[in-house]
Structure 1
């Protein structure tokens, strides 16, 4: 292979790549700016230094990293037909993409735990989810991702690649490259094991959390409280679906869908890498009224001088979670 792979854009659409790049570039800018704004607002506003907003910021960091790791190569294909990628660059991208996905899966698990505590045991929420404890859990999950993913590029680099060097996607995808190896890839069981022990286990625990949440919610007599409890989980459930469904679908297509459309594989690959970093900051900003108010206040301060209206917004007090079902009206 000469130490090089060739990335693939959208099959059969090379003559309109420049036009296709416009929405891709727009999504890239929105995801970078949106996640950056969320991180800045949460960092600079002490009233937002609470569990749900800490989880928002963790999710924003991983989404920001995934966008930076993939979108520049995708736009390079559309703008400059820059398709060549070296093996070393492939392995570096493999590490960062898989590590960030592993960490994002862990963050979604932490958010599910936050929802479980807030709904099933609201009186102890503040004492269980303390900031030092959240920081420790976050550190453990980051270390888990780094330690488990770090050997993967070195294991993959051992293989000899002698088949067609044209990848099916605009970025490195582990399953895609494994098809090109002409050596015994039994050692690749490590990659499958890591996936099952990280994202597979996280998904199972998230599912169990929602089983317990649903059991608690069904025991609520008041329809208003029932709806409020369910509404508090909408954003998180959407984030879980956006993360796991494309990932599972793409893995199944590469494993069992050899006869499936190449265009479908490419489309699902773009959804897998681009939609969640774009949707998450928009979705959480809309659903979280306090975060939304502070984002609006920040843009108002930038665009105009402070007036009576902005002063009133500035004196708005952040409502801390209280041990009742009203806590669930502020969603994650």
Structure 2
């Protein structure tokens, strides 16, 4: 079945999910609050939720090597799209999930997408999850993205999350929560770019409830121009566990960042650490790249690309 996608649609999908046309396997593509196309596979079922907008993604136990795509694009001004997606990852699975939202808003109105994602990851399952947010259009078009991510990890499961905000998002409030059972391990990396007068707030809460559970949190951000960012990650150790939080930010122009990493130990065998660093790009880094033939602007962009990669 041919799917009608405009050049703007195609560019947004490529930017947030790397898609060029319809993928193989399981996928669900949403545009302006409506389904564009959906396909389930033999091992991954995607079904419409009852009562609220959204989908249920059910991954059969033992599923391995499959990727499911669930990108969302918004191309109409004035759209406020809210979607509730729930992922059920069967025991012993090893899968990749690619999500994200791109907004093209060329008008004076506000466009908004709030994606509420909840994961139930079964025993021994492994999940790689990537989510990219991107906005484009004139500065007077408001683009708002408010993602909520909740993760429930069973014994000996593993989850790696790569959450990124590329550029062009006027305002975002990001809420991330996870609870980890015995032996569960999580690695989460959040990368944010803000510019002009944009604002980003990120709140995270990780409950390490089982012995030998662990979480590694890495937050990297760049605040340009007059933009502002606030980060508040909290790791709570309720068992013999390990947790590490690292927040690094670069300021350019009059950008402002408030970083408040926190740890809370409720067990004497919990090992928790946190660190934060905020600063500008070092001048010697710029000079070194200029000696290789780059202009000052090119050198700065090279450093930022590497920092957020």
Identify the TM-score tier after normalising by the shorter chain: under 0.3
Instruction: Report the structure, 1 or 2, having the larger strand content.
Output: 2
Higher relative contact order at CA 8 Å, sep ≥6: structure 1 or structure 2?
Answer: 1
The TM-score normalised by the length of structure 2 is 0.27
